[in-house]
């Protein structure tokens, strides 16, 4: 069910992002706000790091954290090219798909790497599934912004 929630949000994200042209990727979602390209890179980078948080694999491009995690969008930022980011997005999500498909159900209820054994003992609901639910909400959050460039939304 949590996987359903994640898959649904991700499918929506891919649909919305792919509805924009390359030129539109360089438009902010509202005046003075993040550009679509930034939010696209941000989500890809967060999901790249998700592999590590879940303890399933290493990040593919840790160097992108400075651009897309530690800093907000800004005019001076030198982003990877659109095509490069698209490839990154696809690779990250293809890899996650395989990792999630192969993860035995009981593994989802184990603790993630961002917390200690001691904290986990106190609150066993803070497991891999809860991280996934959190990330699904995070996708929805930014999707609500990305959609604003559509007329009538």
Binding site for its own copies (CB under 8 A): 1-2, 4-5, 8-9, 29-31, 33, 72, 125, 127, 129-130, 133-134, 136-138, 140-145, 148, 152-153
Q: What is the DSSP secondary structure assignment for residue 35, as one 8-state letter?
A: B
Q: What span, in angstroms and rounded, lies between the C-alpha atoms of 139 and 28? A: 17
Provide, rounded to whole angstroms, the least separation between the CB of residue 145 and its own copies. Answer: 5
**Please, which residue, 74 or 113, has the CB nearer to its own copies?**
74
Torsion of CA 97, 101, 106, 109, to 10 degrees: 10
Minimal distance, residue 141 CB to its own copies, in Å? 4
Q: Which is nearer to its own copies, 57 or 140 (CB)?
A: 140
Coil, helix or strand at residue 22: coil
- Least distance CB 110 / its own copies (angstroms): 13
């Amino acid at each position: 069910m949590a996987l359903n929630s994640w898959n649904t949000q991700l499918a929506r994200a891919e649909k919305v992002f792919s509805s924009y042209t390359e030129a539109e990727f360089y438009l902010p979602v509202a005046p003075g706000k993040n550009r679509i390209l930034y939010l696209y890179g941000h989500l890809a980078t967060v999901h790249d790091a998700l592999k590590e948080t879940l303890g399933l694999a290493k990040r593919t491009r840790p160097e992108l954290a400075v651009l897309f995690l530690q800093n907000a969008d800004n005019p001076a930022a030198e982003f990877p090219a659109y095509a490069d980011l698209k490839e990154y997005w696809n690779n990250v999500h293809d890899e996650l798909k395989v990792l999630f498909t192969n993860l035995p159900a009981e593994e989802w209820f184990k603790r993630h790497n961002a917390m200690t054994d001691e904290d986990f003992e106190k609150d066993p609901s803070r497991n891999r599934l809860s991280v996934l639910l959190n990330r699904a909400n995070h996708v929805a959050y930014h999707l609500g912004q990305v959609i604003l460039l559509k007329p009538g939304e």
